[in-house]
Amino acid sequence: MILLNSNFYNRPTLEVARDLLGKKLVRRMDGVELSGIIVETEAYCGAGDSACHAHRGRTERNAVMFGPPGFAYVYFTYGMHYLLNLVTEEEGNPCAVLLRSIEPLSGLEEMQARRKRHGKELTNGPAKLCQALGIDKSFNGWDVTRGDTLWVENRQNERPSIVLSTPRIGIEYARKKDREAHWRFLLKP
């Protein structure tokens, strides 16, 4: 297991968002390993990005983004969903990468039980993967560089894949320039 450390996250957010593709997200739960390959991410690039939660300054909700890199920023939205981000760049620069989709590797049965779905519908969305992996607000501020309970690691046999980029999803509220930036990254199927 080659754990991604703080140096990995302490880099420009666009690079981290691209580089997280193909990595393995692992959630250890009651001795069982639930995991999947990260196949879709979005970069949220700090105070100057009008789509980023930190754009209007620090609040109780987004405080973790202002902290050091390598921590989980988990928030609750639409009255029922959790979304998982990983904080990037140096402390005080509030940036993060949203994990939008993973391809399940292990713990399929546990994911199916949580999701009450199967096949493609297991983890192909930011709230879906949180539900499948049992990630809720208690993980907000979790250190993902310790390799405990929730972390990201390099994968053996990581095949080269083509990376596609598009505008980000669900940010109609942002300024035109930020709406149109190709800051969503995905592995070509």
Interacting span for DNA (CB under 7 A) from 1-9, 76-84, 104-112, 179-187: 76-84
Residue 42 binds DNA, judged by CB under 7 A: yes
| Least gap, CB of 109 to DNA (angstroms) | 17
Choosing from 7, 77, 149, 154, the residue that interacts with DNA (CB under 7 A) is: 77
Give the whole-angstrom CA distance, residue 39 versus residue 163: 9
Nearest-approach distance from CB 135 to DNA, in angstroms = 12
Question: Mutual orientation of helices 126-133 and 108-115 as an angle, nearest 10°?
Answer: 110
Near DNA by CB under 7 A: residue from 52, 144, 181, 186: 52
Under rule CB under 7 A, residue 3 binds DNA = no
CA 46 to chain centre: 15
Place of tokens 């109609």: 172
Using CB under 7 A as the binding criterion, the count of chain residues that bind DNA stands at 35
Which CB, 68 or 75, lies closer to DNA? 75
Helix ranges (H only) for the chain are 6-9, 13-20, 108-115, 126-133, 176-180
Does the footprint of DNA cover residue 18 (CB under 7 A)? no
Dihedral pair phi/psi, residue 179, rounded to 5°: -60, -40
27 binds DNA (CB under 7 A): no
Smallest gap from Cβ 36 to DNA, in A, equals: 14
Q: Please, is 147 exposed, middle or buried when counting C-beta atoms within 10 Å of its C-beta (0-12, 13-18, 19+)?
A: middle
Alpha helices by DSSP H, listed for 59-180, are 108-115, 126-133, 176-180
Q: Does 125 bind DNA (CB under 7 A)?
A: yes
Check binding of 166 to DNA (CB under 7 A).
no
Residue 62 contacts DNA per CB under 7 A: yes
**Exposure b/e, 74-92, CB count within 10 A at least 16 = b:** bbeeeeeebbbbbbbbeee
> Binding residues for DNA, per CB under 7 A?
42, 44, 51-53, 56, 59-62, 65, 75-81, 83, 85, 96, 98, 115, 117, 121, 125-128, 168-173
